[in-house]
């Protein structure tokens, strides 16, 4: 049962809330899981994982060399032990005994030092791989269009970056070197055991293929559990991000649903805890059995040696050396079998990470884009035969749109909710891209312009103002990092927010709070206006920038907007029609089509669709 809609920024026009068929946001509390982004049964690309380590192959080569050297040195110790017993102690050869013991001590010191160096290099490589993955996922998500974020929970995205990439920490940092180290140790130990007694070596390793087969089965089980576990962690992250945000807390408290949310969180946390237990216990009986078998084998070797199993007498030194090798093999062999299941489980995490990296980028910058020069542009905007829809099977949100916005003029876009007003505006800023027709600024198709120059050309002020949890100065400077304090204050004065800021105890260094909840809606809007003033774009898009404000606050913000609009091409997506009656051109949309256009008085005289909207507005009934 739905509890309340997912919290987050953005206008209704950015997602399924306007009925565009683009797939609405998942409702908080919905029991229906989001559809998989890719086929979960696809073959994993092990080469792709290996390519993550390719930039660090030389350092990994050093680690491998250290591992081989360390394992080789360790394999010598049992032979030294055999000679210590047979030739040193039993024959009372003190000189040889001293040399052999000294060699054993030197090997121990050397292998310990090599282990420290190897751990440092492998850890550094692993952390660099995780860093590369985090950056790759973040940058790829930055390139996706708004459509992806309007249908994806914020907590889901956070979970992929934090939980999934964080979950491969051990794999990226130590698993590869653990496998190499233990495999090398096992190989070296097996060779040493065969040299001591090939008959006993065959006995000791007879069950190994069977154990490997069982371990692979356990690994596949853990992989499936890990996939379910990560989805559960994503659900928890989404619930926390939504219900513990300021908006979520307010809604939960005012609706009296705080206890219900706590119950839901408890249920999801309990499910994750159960999956954690299941994951950790998967194959534990198998591993315990393997450890038991390896632990029993030395005792059996003692018995076999006493029974002359090999067909000839085996010296005491050989028996002790062989059982020492058996004991030494126990840990790396168990580690190898155990890490195999861990690798299988980690592949589920890689699958989820690669799902995001494989998401297609539907809005791409051209290889050699045109660099718009905002200070030289006139600012004429044209939409030529534009058609847009949110999916191949969805109805057209905009259809056959032909519109010219002359440079330096004000155009208002009006219409009922779902008419396509916001979508039209976002096509100009290339937040979406039309399937039919084109959008141009001074004759340049926005698809041919570079992202940076287009962002500098089209300034957007929406009804949903987002402020970071940072100081006022940092929030304003986000629009233009090189802006001086004087320029920031001048922009704030123009936006009529400077006096309020300086009246605060910390002035421009005041922390605005999460999503800016220390400030009213009108104050946040004026900060958004100040940010746009700093960018000084020739084309201004006002997306219902005053629709959520009371009349008095709207008047103050409107004055700031009027000053901001001076000398710019301004496109206003209007909620309250009283704010656009002086526009040079009013365009009326209905179900994605332009049904009327003209100035206010002319459209009123026609007594058509626009006149009906004005009458509706005057009756104080909100349009949205």
Residue 414 main-chain phi, psi, to 5 deg = -125, 165
582 compared with 443, residue with greater pLDDT: 443
| Helices marked H in 206-315 | 208-243, 246-254, 258-281, 284-306
With a cut of 80, say whether residue 361 has pLDDT above it.
Answer: yes
Domain boundary residue among 342, 357, 372? 357
| 328 and 439 belong to one structural domain | no
With a cut of 50, say whether residue 20 has pLDDT above it.
Answer: no
| 392 and 273 belong to one structural domain | no
Residue with tokens 């402020």: 467
Question: Residue 29: its pLDDT value, please?
Answer: 38
371 domain-assigned? no
What is the number of domains present in the chain?
Answer: 2
| Mean pLDDT, range 241-259, rounded to an integer | 59
In whole angstroms, how far apart are CA 386 and each of 56, 419, 450?
A: 48, 15, 21
Residue 261 maps to which CATH number? Answer: 1.20.1560.10
19 domain-assigned? no
Q: How far is 337 from 302, CA to CA, in rounded Å?
A: 26
3-state secondary structure at position 68? helix
Nearest one of 335, 322, 66 to 201, comparing CA atoms: 322
Q: Enter the DSSP assignment of 622.
A: -
| 202 and 284 belong to one structural domain | yes
| 390 and 538 belong to one structural domain | yes
| 332 and 400 belong to one structural domain | no
Q: What is the pLDDT of residues 364-410, one digit of tens each?
A: 888 899 999 988 889 999 999 999 988 788 889 999 999 999 999 99
| 349 and 434 belong to one structural domain | no
3-state secondary structure at position 335? helix
Q: Report the relative pairing of strands 398-405 and 410-415 from DSSP bridges.
A: unpaired
Residue with tokens 């100081």: 471
Orientation angle between helical segments 176-196 and 316-357, nearest 10 degrees: 160
Q: What is the pLDDT of residues 129-152, one digit of tens each?
A: 888 888 888 888 888 877 787 777
Question: Residue 313: its pLDDT value, please?
Answer: 59
Containing structural domain, residue 605: 381-618
| 258 and 332 belong to one structural domain | yes
Task: Tell me which H or E stretch contains 377.
Answer: none
CA torsion through residues 593, 599, 604, 607, sign? negative
Q: What is the pLDDT of residues 420-429, one digit of tens each?
A: 888 999 999 9
102 domain-assigned? yes
Question: Residue 549: its pLDDT value, please?
Answer: 63
Tokens of 418: 């779902």
1 domain-assigned? no
| 347 and 292 belong to one structural domain | yes
Residue with tokens 């058609």: 387
Question: Residue 593: its pLDDT value, please?
Answer: 92
25 domain-assigned? no
| Mean pLDDT, range 558-584, rounded to an integer | 81
DSSP 425-461: HHHHTTSS--SEEEEEETTEEGGGB-HHHHHHHEEEE
- Inter-residue long-range contacts of 277-284, CB under 8 Å, 24+ positions, other chains counted: 278/225, 279/222, 279/225, 279/226, 279/229, 279/345, 282/218, 282/221, 282/222, 282/225, 282/341, 283/215, 283/218, 283/219, 283/221, 283/222, 283/341
Question: Residue 370: its pLDDT value, please?
Answer: 92
CA 39 and chain centroid, separation: 19
Residue 563 maps to which CATH number? Answer: 3.40.50.300
524 domain-assigned? yes
| Mean pLDDT, range 487-497, rounded to an integer | 87
468 compared with 400, residue with greater pLDDT: 400
CB atoms within 10 A of CB 59: 15
| Mean pLDDT, range 325-346, rounded to an integer | 66
Under 8 Å between Cβ of 293 and 352: no
Question: Residue 134: its pLDDT value, please?
Answer: 85
325 compared with 599, residue with greater pLDDT: 599
Q: How far is 583 from 272, CA to CA, in rounded Å?
A: 56
Q: What is the pLDDT of residues 177-213, one digit of tens each?
A: 677 767 777 777 777 777 777 777 777 676 666 666 6
89 domain-assigned? yes
DSSP 12-38: GGGSGGGS-SS-PPPPBT--SPPPPSS
What torsion do the CA atoms of 231, 232, 238, 241 make, to the nearest 10 degrees? -130
Q: How far is 544 from 547, CA to CA, in rounded Å?
A: 5
Phi-psi region of 586 (alpha: psi -120 to 50; beta: other; left: phi over 0): beta
| 348 and 392 belong to one structural domain | no
With a cut of 60, say whether residue 480 has pLDDT above it.
Answer: yes
With a cut of 60, say whether residue 43 has pLDDT above it.
Answer: no
Question: Residue 141: its pLDDT value, please?
Answer: 84
| 148 and 263 belong to one structural domain | yes
Q: How far is 418 from 431, CA to CA, in rounded Å?
A: 18
For the chain, the average pLDDT equals 76
| 138 and 250 belong to one structural domain | yes
Q: Report the relative pairing of strands 585-590 and 593-598 from DSSP bridges.
A: antiparallel
pLDDT level of residue 447 (50, 70, 90 thresholds):
very high
Question: Residue 76: its pLDDT value, please?
Answer: 81
| 294 and 330 belong to one structural domain | yes
What torsion do the CA atoms of 341, 342, 343, 349 make, to the nearest 10 degrees? 120
Tokens of 604: 């009123």
Least confident of 3-17, 76-90, 482-496: 3-17
pLDDT level of residue 443 (50, 70, 90 thresholds):
very high
14 domain-assigned? no
């Amino acid at each position: 049962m739905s509890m309340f809609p997912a919290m987050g920024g953005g206008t209704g026009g950015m997602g399924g809330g306007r009925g565009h068929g683009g797939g609405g946001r998942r409702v908080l509390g919905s029991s229906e899981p989001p559809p998989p982004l890719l086929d979960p049964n696809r073959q994993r690309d092990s080469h792709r994982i290996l390519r993550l380590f390719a930039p660090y192959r030389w350092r990994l080569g050093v680690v491998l060399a250290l591992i081989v050297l360390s394992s080789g040195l360790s394999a010598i110790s049992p032979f030294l032990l055999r000679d210590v017993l047979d030739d040193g102690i039993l024959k009372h050869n003190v000189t040889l005994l001293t040399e052999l013991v000294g060699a054993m001590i030197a090997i121990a010191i050397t292998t310990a030092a090599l282990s420290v160096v190897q751990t440092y290099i492998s850890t550094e490589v692993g952390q660099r791989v995780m860093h590369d993955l985090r950056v790759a996922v973040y940058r790829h998500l930055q390139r996706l269009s708004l459509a992806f974020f309007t249908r994806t929970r914020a907590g889901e995205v956070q979970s992929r970056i934090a939980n999934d990439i964080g979950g491969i920490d051990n794999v990226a940092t130590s698993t590869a070197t653990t496998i190499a180290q233990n495999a090398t140790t096992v190989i070296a130990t097996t060779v040493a055991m065969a040299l001591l007694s090939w008959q006993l070596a065959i006995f000791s390793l007879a069950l190994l293929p069977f154990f490997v087969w069982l371990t692979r089965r356990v690994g596949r089980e853990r992989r499936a559990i890990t996939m379910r576990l990560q989805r559960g962690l994503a659900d928890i992250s989404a619930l926390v991000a939504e219900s513990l945000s300021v908006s979520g807390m307010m809604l939960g408290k005012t609706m009296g649903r705080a206890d219900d949310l706590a119950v839901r969180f408890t249920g999801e946390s309990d499910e994750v805890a159960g999956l954690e237990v299941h994951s950790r216990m998967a194959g534990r009986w198998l591993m315990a059995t393997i450890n038991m078998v390896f632990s029993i084998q030395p005792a059996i070797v003692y018995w076999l040696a006493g029974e002359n199993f090999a067909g000839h007498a085996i010296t005491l030194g050989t028996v002790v050396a062989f059982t020492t090798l058996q004991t030494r093999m126990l840990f790396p062999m168990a580690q190898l079998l155990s890490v195999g299941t861990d690798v299988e489980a980690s592949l589920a995490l890689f699958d989820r990470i690669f799902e995001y990296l494989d998401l297609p980028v539907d809005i791409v910058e051209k290889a050699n884009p045109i660099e718009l020069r905002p200070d030289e542009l006139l600012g004429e905007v044209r939409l030529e035969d534009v058609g847009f829809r949110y999916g191949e099977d969805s109805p057209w949100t905009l259809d056959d749109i032909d519109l010219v916005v002359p440079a330096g003029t004000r155009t208002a876009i009006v219409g009922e909710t779902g008419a396509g007003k916001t979508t039209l505006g976002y096509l100009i800023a290339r937040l979406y891209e039309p399937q039919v027709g084109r959008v141009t600024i001074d004759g340049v198709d926005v698809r041919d312009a570079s992202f940076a120059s287009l962002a500098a050309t089209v300034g957007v002020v929406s009804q949903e103002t987002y402020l970071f949890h940072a100081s006022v100065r940092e929030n304003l400077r986000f629009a233009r990092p090189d802006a001086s304090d004087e320029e920031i204050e001048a922009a704030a004065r123009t936006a009529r927010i400077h006096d309020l800021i300086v009246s605060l105890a910390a002035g421009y260094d005041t922390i605005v709070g999460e999503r800016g909840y220390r400030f009213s809606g009108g104050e946040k809007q004026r900060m958004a206006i100040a940010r746009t003033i700093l960018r000084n774009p020739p084309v201004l898009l006002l997306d219902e920038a005053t629709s959520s404000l009371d009349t008095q606050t709207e008047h103050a913000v409107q004055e700031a907007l009027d000053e901001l609009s001076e000398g710019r091409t301004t496109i206003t997506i209007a909620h309250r029609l009283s704010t656009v009656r002086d526009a040079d051109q009013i365009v009326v949309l209905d179900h994605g089509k332009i049904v009327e256009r003209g100035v206010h008085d002319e459209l009123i005289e026609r007594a058509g669709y626009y006149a009906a909207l004005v009458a509706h507005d005057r009756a104080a009934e909100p349009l949205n």
